[in-house]
Amino acid sequence: MDLGLKNKVIVVTGGAKGIGAGIVKVLAAEGAIPVIVGRSEVDNLITVKEVEAAGRQVHHVVAELTDPAACENAINKVLQQFGRIEGLVNNAGVNDGVGLEHGNYEKFMASLHKNVVHYYLMAHFALPALKKSKGAILNITSKTAATGQGNTSGYAAANGGRNALTREWAVELLKYGIRVNAIVVAECWTPLYENWINTLPDPIAKRKDIESKIPLENRMTTAEEIANTTAFLLSERSSHTTGQLIYVDGGYVHLDRALANA
């Protein structure tokens, strides 16, 4: 299926690694022009080289997204280079373990800045361009907003905010024809996930235990699967879909756990 994304400029925050890199690669394969926005030029360029080696277009901007001025500057750089933006993927963030019992105000507020404030800022600064193109916004969020996790108040609150902003923006932007949706991620295998699981006493056993609870095929979601749904939701093939929180998780959040071992 041709998603009609050829030559569309789509900004992807945190597009150098993990889910973000998967999204960048799928968008590039669809003929879009993804623009990575990330804090590390080294990491950005690694993904840029991989995409260009496949004969696809990709660009990048270095920005520390916890800095509001850097968010505005990143959007301005994209517009200076291309003159347009047809899509925004808010993806950057980190499950930073800022809990209630052992956290504090400063850490909690820092977690919100890492995980949800820049979602608002990037959408705010990109909005004039998105209004011109009748583009789309896609927010990547986490199951923690729906399920809780324990010891991650900042990240859970941020994801609750991401979900609420998705619905709020979908309403506010109806008059401009801008669609806004979210993909909710549960257990997705990424380098960051692998780093975390390797800190545990028995990583192999822990991974098997987690996968045993994922109903569909008893395996983790891949970054490419998140990316495929992202590309669809950014495209005109999903032209009447807005304000939706779509779980790409193998049934992990909503299906009965008993099904996983059926």
Examine the pLDDT at 259 and tell me if it is beyond 80: no
> What are the structure tokens assigned to 36, written together?
């990575």
- The CATH number given to 9-187+222-254 is 3.40.50.720
Q: What is the pTM of this model?
A: 0.97
The confidence score (pLDDT) of residue 173 equals 99
Over the stretch 28-43, which tens digit does the pLDDT of each residue have?
999 999 999 999 999 9
**Helix ranges restricted to H, the chain:** 18-29, 41-53, 68-82, 105-112, 118-133, 144-147, 153-172, 191-197, 203-212, 223-234
Q: Report the pLDDT value the prediction gives residue 262, as an integer from 0 to 100.
A: 67
List, for residues 47-104, the tens digit of each pLDDT value: 999 999 999 999 999 999 999 999 999 999 999 999 999 999 999 999 999 999 999 9
pLDDT tens readout for residues 94-119: 999 999 999 999 999 999 999 999 99
- Active-site entry in 119, 155, 193, 252: 155
1 pLDDT band, cuts 50/70/90, is: confident
Alpha carbon distance 37, 69 (integer Å): 14
Could you read off the pLDDT of 117-164 as tens digits, one per residue? 999 999 999 999 999 999 999 999 999 999 999 999 999 999 999 999
For residue 223, give the amino acid letter: A
Q: How much is the pLDDT for 261?
A: 75
Q: Is 155 a catalytic residue?
A: yes
List, for residues 180-213, the tens digit of each pLDDT value.
999 999 999 999 899 999 999 999 999 999 999 9
CA distance 90 to 100: 26
Domain ranges of the chain: 9-187+222-254
> pLDDT tens-digit profile of 210-241?
999 999 999 999 999 999 999 999 999 999 99
Give the C-alpha distances (Å, rounded to integers) separating 83 from 79, 128, 238.
Answer: 4, 11, 25
